[in-house]
C-alpha cells in the first residue's frame, strides 16, 4: 500500500463535518456505510473453523499485515488453514536499495510476515509492481481460479473491488481478479483442463473486503486478542517500514523538524513508527464499538436464501 494516504484517507468528509459541528460521528472514521447493518465479529474459543481454508490475496506484502493481519491471525487461531497469495513482486518499495535488492528483500520479508500470521504456504505471482493494469485480466483470473480449486479456498481477504478513490492499479486490478475468480472457480465449464489434472469446481463462500477509502462497511472484527501478532507482522515488512520511516523523516526534515523516536536504530524507529501509525489507527477503529482494536470490512457471506425452505422441505436422497 502507499503509506502516505493511509491515515488521511480514514477521515471521510461526512465524519469531519459532524465533528466540526460538535456532533458525535455516526460511524467510525473512514466508514461511509449507507444502510448496512454492522456485525461485530468476536473471538471464539476452541477451533470452530477447523477444516476450513482461507487465503489472503493482495499485491503487496504489507497489504496483508496492515489491512487484515489481525483478523487473519484470529481465524487461523480458531482453526482455519491459511494461505497467502502476493500478486506483485514489490519491486518499488524500499528506501535505499536497487530494484533487484528490493525484490529479494521484500520476498524474504513477505515470508517472515506470513510466518508470524501462521500462514501455511505463500504463493508469489510476481507481476510487476505498480504496473498491474498492464496484466491480462483473464490470465490473472485463471491463476487465481487454479489456486482456489487447488487449495479449496472457502474464505478470502482482499481489496474491495468497489472501494472508492483507490489510486494504486495493483490494488484494484487484483481486487477485480479476485472477485471474478471467487465465483467462476465454481463453474464446471471454466478451464476444463483443471479437471483433467484432478481438480474440481470450488466456489469461495465468504469474502472479507477492505479498502483505504470510503467503503460499505458491514463487519467489524475484534482483533484485541491478536493486535500484538498483527503489529509483529507489520514490523516483519522491514524493508517497507524502513521506506515509510525514511520518507517520514525526509518530510519532517523539509520542515526543519524531526521526531526523536524515528532517529537512530532502524528497528527501534520501525517499531515506534508502526505503533504511532498503525496501532493507533486500529484502536481508533475499535472505539465506536467499545473494542480495544478492530479491523473493518465489507463482508459477503454465502447465499442462504433457500436455507429456510430447505430446512422445512428437504427429504433424504
Ligand atoms: Zn498495497
* Cβ count near 71 (within 10 Å): 25
Q: What does the pLDDT look like over 72-119, one tens digit per residue?
A: 999 999 999 999 999 999 999 999 999 999 999 999 999 999 999 999
Task: Decide if 194 is inside a domain.
Answer: yes
Residues with CB in 5 Å of ion ligand 1: 1, 60, 63
Q: How far apart are CA 231 and CA 236, in angstroms?
A: 9
| pTM confidence score | 0.88
Check which CATH number belongs to the domain holding 121 and give it.
3.40.50.10320
DSSP secondary structure of 111-168? HHHHHHHT-SEEEEEEEPTT-GGGS-HHHHHHHHHHHHHHHT--EEEEE-TT-TT---
Task: Decide if 317 is inside a domain.
Answer: no
| pLDDT above 90: residue 48 | yes
Task: Decide if 159 is inside a domain.
Answer: yes
Report CA(258)–ligand 1 centroid distance (Å): 27
Beta bridge partners of 210: 159
Task: Decide if 1 is inside a domain.
Answer: no
Number of domains observed in the structure of the chain: 1
Q: Which three cell numbers stand for residue 38?
A: 454492522
Residue with cell 524493508: 239
Report CA(62)–ligand 1 centroid distance (Å): 7
Q: Are 287 and 222 a contacting pair, CB within 8 Å?
A: no
Task: Decide if 286 is inside a domain.
Answer: yes
Parent domain of 108: 47-302
Report CA(234)–ligand 1 centroid distance (Å): 13
Task: Decide if 27 is inside a domain.
Answer: no
Report CA(58)–ligand 1 centroid distance (Å): 7
Q: In what order do the strands lie in the sheet with 219-222?
A: 39-41, 219-222, 294-300, 206-210, 155-159, 53-58, 81-88, 121-127
* Cβ count near 271 (within 10 Å): 18
Q: What does the pLDDT look like over 256-314, one tens digit per residue?
A: 999 999 998 999 999 999 999 999 999 999 999 999 999 999 999 998 899 999 999 99
Task: Decide if 241 is inside a domain.
Answer: yes
* Cβ count near 138 (within 10 Å): 10
Report CA(93)–ligand 1 centroid distance (Å): 10
Report CA(60)–ligand 1 centroid distance (Å): 5
Report CA(25)–ligand 1 centroid distance (Å): 28
Report CA(6)–ligand 1 centroid distance (Å): 10
Task: Decide if 21 is inside a domain.
Answer: no
Report CA(87)–ligand 1 centroid distance (Å): 10
Amino acid at each position: 500500500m502507499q503509506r502516505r494516504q493511509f491515515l488521511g484517507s480514514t477521515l471521510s468528509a461526512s465524519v469531519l463535518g459532524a465533528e466540526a459541528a460538535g456532533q458525535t460521528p455516526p460511524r467510525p472514521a473512514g466508514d461511509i456505510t449507507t444502510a448496512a447493518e454492522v456485525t461485530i465479529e468476536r473471538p471464539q474459543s476452541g477451533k470452530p473453523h477447523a477444516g476450513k481454508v482461507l487465503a489472503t490475496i493482495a499485491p503487496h506484502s504489507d497489504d496483508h499485515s496492515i489491512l487484515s493481519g489481525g483478523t487473519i491471525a484470529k481465524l487461523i487461531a480458531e482453526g482455519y488453514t491459511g494461505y497467502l497469495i502476493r500478486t506483485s513482486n514489490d519491486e518499488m518499495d524500499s528506501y535505499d536499495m536497487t530494484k533487484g535488492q528490493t525484490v529479494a528483500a521484500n520476498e524474504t520479508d513477505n515470508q517472515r510476515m506470513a510466518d508470524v500470521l501462521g500462514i501455511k504456504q505463500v504463493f508469489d505471482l510476481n507481476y510487476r509492481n505498480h504496473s498491474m493494469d498492464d496484466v491480462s485480466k483473464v490470465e490473472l483470473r485463471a491463476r487465481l481460479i487454479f489456486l482456489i480449486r487447488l487449495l479449496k479456498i472457502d474464505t478470502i481477504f482482499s481489496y474491495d473491488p468497489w472501494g472508492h478513490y483507490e489510486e494504486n492499479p495493483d490494488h484494484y486490478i487484483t481486487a477485480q481478479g479476485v472477485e471474478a475468480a471467487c465465483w467462476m472457480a465454481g463453474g464446471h465449464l471454466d478451464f476444463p483442463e483443471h479437471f483433467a489434472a484432478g481438480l474440481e469446481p470450488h466456489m469461495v463462500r465468504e469474502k472479507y473486503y477492505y479498502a483505504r477509502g470510503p467503503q460499505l462497511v458491514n463487519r467489524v472484527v475484534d482483533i484485541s486478542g491478536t493486535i500484538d501478532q498483527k503489529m509483529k507482522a507489520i514490523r516483519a515488512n522491514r524493508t517497507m517500514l524502513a521506506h515509510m520511516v525514511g520518507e517520514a523523516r525526509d518530510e519532517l526534515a523539509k520542515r526543519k523538524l524531526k521526531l526523536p523516536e524515528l532517529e537512530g536504530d532502524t528497528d527501534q524507529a520501525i517499531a515506534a513508527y508502526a505503533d504511532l501509525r498503525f496501532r493507533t489507527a486500529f484502536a481508533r477503529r475499535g472505539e465506536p464499538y467499545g473494542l480495544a482494536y478492530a479491523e473493518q470490512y465489507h463482508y459477503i457471506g454465502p447465499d442462504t436464501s433457500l436455507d429456510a425452505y430447505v430446512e422445512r422441505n428437504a427429504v433424504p436422497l
